[in-house]
């Protein structure tokens, strides 16, 4: 059964308005990719504004989640270890995404990529332990590209954080599990943003003039979702923890 607080949240007008707002925001990026490909490409290239914004969002979300952990510790929660563990998972995940986006500092400090993992032809898979972009990150390594795929993880997180996680927390028996582990729950207004990211991937990937622009865009939208999720958990603990 849904308690009165959850019912009031579901009926809140601002949840509907925010879903519409974030959906329109995401779709506006799709419109820019489709109608103004060359102009948008200037901002969606490697180390461009779009990618930089995504890295900043991931970094800020990690800080917010770690701040939540400190707050939980200070609150002397009766299930302290469980409460900290759940939020710590999201904090670490956000930090890893941030680290990967900046190639673990390489894009800031400009240190050289070890020769052992370099490829001779940019963006070619020359071995499981070779980096296809000659960077110090994991998601461009040959084994990751061959067997996992960064886009699959990105889309999986978009669907998990924006749709599956919040809906299951409000409408399924899993809410009891989230409550037992004292897990932070994403706000329902992330649904619109998640749907727009999915549409960008599956609607524009094959027809975009610069296909890589779509991946940079939905990665940035994922960073924005992480940021909104973490900020919600930090500023509204009574609503983000069931």
The C-alpha atoms of residue 29 and residue 16 are separated, in whole angstroms, by: 21
* Distance set, CA 117 to CA 124, 127, 134, 139 (Å): 12, 9, 7, 13
- Helix extents (H) in 76-105: 80-101
Q: What confidence score (pLDDT) does residue 78 get?
A: 65
Nearest to 223 by CA among 135, 167, 158, 139: 158
Q: Is 123 left (phi over 0), alpha (psi -120 to 50) or beta?
A: left
Q: What confidence score (pLDDT) does residue 240 get?
A: 62
Q: Using an 8 Å Cβ cutoff, are 54 and 150 in contact? A: no
Q: What confidence score (pLDDT) does residue 1 get?
A: 45
Q: Walk along the chain (242 residues) and give the pLDDT tens digit of each residue.
A: 454 445 455 557 788 889 999 999 999 999 999 999 999 999 998 889 999 999 999 999 999 999 999 888 887 766 778 878 889 999 999 999 999 999 999 988 889 999 999 998 988 999 999 999 999 999 999 999 899 999 999 999 999 999 999 999 888 888 888 888 888 999 999 999 999 999 998 888 778 888 888 999 999 999 999 999 999 999 876 556 65
The C-alpha atoms of residue 208 and residue 204 are separated, in whole angstroms, by: 5
Q: What confidence score (pLDDT) does residue 62 get?
A: 98
Q: What confidence score (pLDDT) does residue 43 get?
A: 94
Q: What confidence score (pLDDT) does residue 81 get?
A: 82
Q: What confidence score (pLDDT) does residue 4 get?
A: 47
Q: What confidence score (pLDDT) does residue 9 get?
A: 53
* Distance set, CA 133 to CA 46, 103, 118 (Å): 10, 10, 8
DSSP 222-237: HHHHHHHHHHHHHH-H
């Amino acid at each position: 059964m849904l308690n009165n607080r959850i019912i009031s949240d579901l009926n809140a007008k601002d949840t509907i308005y925010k879903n519409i707002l974030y959906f329109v925001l995401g779709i506006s990026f799709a419109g820019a990719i489709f109608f103004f490909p060359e102009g948008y490409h200037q901002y969606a290239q490697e180390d461009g504004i779009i990618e930089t914004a995504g890295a900043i969002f991931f970094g800020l979300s990690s800080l917010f989640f770690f701040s939540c952990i400190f707050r939980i510790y200070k609150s002397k929660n009766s299930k302290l270890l469980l409460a900290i563990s759940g939020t710590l998972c999201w904090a670490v995940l956000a930090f890893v995404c941030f680290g990967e986006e900046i190639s673990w500092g390489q894009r800031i400090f400009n240190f050289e990529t070890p020769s052992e993992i370099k490829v001779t032809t940019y963006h070619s898979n020359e071995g499981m332990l070779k980096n296809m972009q000659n960077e110090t990150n994991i998601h461009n390594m040959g084994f990751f590209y061959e067997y996992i795929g960064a886009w699959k993880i990105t889309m999986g997180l978009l669907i998990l954080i924006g749709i599956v996680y919040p809906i299951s927390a409000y409408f399924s028996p899993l809410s009891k599990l989230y409550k037992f582990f004292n897990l932070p729950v994403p706000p329902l207004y992330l649904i619109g943003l998640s749907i727009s990211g999915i549409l960008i991937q599956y609607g524009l990937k094959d027809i975009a003039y610069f296909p890589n622009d779509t991946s940079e865009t939905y990665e940035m939208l994922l960073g924005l979702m992480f940021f909104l999720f973490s900020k919600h958990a930090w500023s509204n603990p009574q609503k983000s923890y069931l």
